[in-house]
Amino acid sequence: MISGTADPRFEGVREALASCFADGIDHGAAVCAVVDGRVVADLWGGHADAARTRPWRRDTLVNVWSATKGVVALAVAMLVEQGKLDYAAPIASVWPEFAANGKDSIPLDLVMSHRAGLNGTAAPITEAELLAWTPYVAALAAQAPLWEPGSRCVYHMLSYGHLAGEPIRRVTGGSVGAFIAQNIAGPLGVAFHVGLPENEDALAAEIVPGPLVDAGMEKLREGAYGQGARNPTPRADAPNHRAWRAAEVPGGNGHANARALATIYGTLARGGGSLISPAGLAAATAERFRGEDAGFQLPTAWGAGFRLDDAANYGPRASARSFGHSGWGGAVAFADPDARLGFAYVTNHMRDFLDGMDVRRQRLTAAVYAAL
């Protein structure tokens, strides 16, 4: 049974979500659409645990993996607008240690568009060191680029969050999670956490990986740019443990519900509201790269941390001005300014790269656009 509310025009979204459960391609999930600032569909269903003893509820939170990156991109954009960060300035101007080994001229813009040559670390890094923050950022600061910065685009799977997050920490004196809580989630009144408080732990859904998840990550590890899937290798079940939830991994451990992400992107779809000016948002969503991701060997387009015009994840009817981010296994959230739409889908049932285009995203985005 699908719970929640939908305007009569958007009842097709309920049917689309129900079909994902009926076809056995989802376990627990939620979807939300915000149009012109108003929630028109806020729906959820299934179970928050593998044993199917905990129903998914309105306030259930789930690790949204790389959909976290889009909210980090917004945080950076807000600080750029405030004059505390500069896309064009060298990262070393706010993080002096980063200048080591020929990285003194790498600008923030190259990190935000996955072109910094630092899609992973050269030295072995454990998951515990990643979660502890300082060992991971120190390794990134000390090493030479893995390939010539600016020469290509290779998705910075985990390193993006720390490479964008350490400049945030340097100019604000606080963590990425603290900035998001105080300046994005708090003002909007939504549940989005990078670093889940222990008193929210009971709300967290258990991740249920599909059969191809490990195989997909192993394929990435073995590729020419496999550093991003090593040191450490992301574990699909990591979010089921308190250590992962408590840490700040801005490249992939945001915990949220669909309503939170749709509200954030719904605000951006209307120009940014109180978060950022239209001009600041335009600077963040201006195209930096369009071409092939050399790691995935797939077409991609990037603004400053936002994936642009991504029909594979946002649906074929999303406008060319759409921007947002998807997450490993299924989550997706984006803004479509032409439709004044903020959309989000979150799930605990992880499908993977080898599964092809996620049919769940296809069904849900198609239902939303059919109702507009």
> What HEC string does the chain produce?
CCEEEECHHHHHHHHHHHHHHHCCCCCEEEEEEEECCEEEEEEEEEECCCCCCCECCCCCEEECCCHHHHHHHHHHHHHHHCCCCCCCCEHHHCCHHHHHHHCCCCEHHHHHCCCCCCCCCCCCCCHHHHHCCHHHHHHHHHCCCCCCCCCCECCCCCHHHHHHHHHHHHHHCCCHHHHHHHHHHHHHCCCEEECCCHHHHHHECCCEECCCHHHHHHHHHCCCCHHHHCCCCCCCCHHHCHHHHHCCCCCCCEEECHHHHHHHHHHHHCCCCCCCCHHHHHHHHCCCEEEEECCCCEEEEECCCCEECCHHHHCCCCCCCCEEEECCCCCEEEEECCCCEEEEEEECEECCHHHCCCHHHHHHHHHHHHHC
- For position 356, what pLDDT does the model report? 63
- For position 37, what pLDDT does the model report? 97
- For position 218, what pLDDT does the model report? 84
Helix orientation angle between 278-285 and 67-81, rounded to the nearest 10 degrees: 130
- For position 125, what pLDDT does the model report? 95
pLDDT digits (tens, 9 = 90+) for 171-184: 999 999 999 999 99
Average pLDDT, the chain: 96
Average pLDDT over residues 146-150: 98
- For position 137, what pLDDT does the model report? 98
Q: What six digits make up the tokens of 219?
A: 């394929």
With a cut of 90, say whether residue 251 has pLDDT above it.
Answer: yes
With a cut of 80, say whether residue 93 has pLDDT above it.
Answer: yes
With a cut of 80, say whether residue 84 has pLDDT above it.
Answer: yes
- For position 219, what pLDDT does the model report? 84
Q: What six digits make up the tokens of 125?
A: 């890094």
Residues 6 or more apart in contact with residue 153 via CB below 8 angstroms: 113, 114, 115, 289, 291, 292, 293, 294, 300, 302
CB 81 within 8 Å of CB 277: yes
Q: What six digits make up the tokens of 245?
A: 């939830």
- For position 142, what pLDDT does the model report? 98
pLDDT digits (tens, 9 = 90+) for 312-364: 899 999 999 999 999 999 999 999 999 999 999 999 999 876 666 799 999 99
With a cut of 70, say whether residue 234 has pLDDT above it.
Answer: yes
pLDDT digits (tens, 9 = 90+) for 8-24: 999 999 999 999 999 99
Please provide residue 48's backbone torsions phi and psi, each rounded to the nearest 5 degrees. -90, 0
pLDDT digits (tens, 9 = 90+) for 270-300: 999 999 999 999 999 999 999 999 999 999 9
Average pLDDT over residues 182-198: 98
Alpha-carbon distance of 143 to 121, in angstroms, equals 8
Residues above pLDDT 90, as percent of the chain = 91
- For position 222, what pLDDT does the model report? 87
Sheet holding 192-194: strands in order across?
Answer: 62-63, 254-256, 192-194
- For position 353, what pLDDT does the model report? 65
- For position 228, what pLDDT does the model report? 87
Average pLDDT over residues 201-209: 97
- For position 355, what pLDDT does the model report? 62
pLDDT digits (tens, 9 = 90+) for 219-228: 888 888 998 8
Average pLDDT over residues 194-214: 94
CB atoms within 10 A of CB 203: 17
- For position 352, what pLDDT does the model report? 76
- For position 217, what pLDDT does the model report? 86
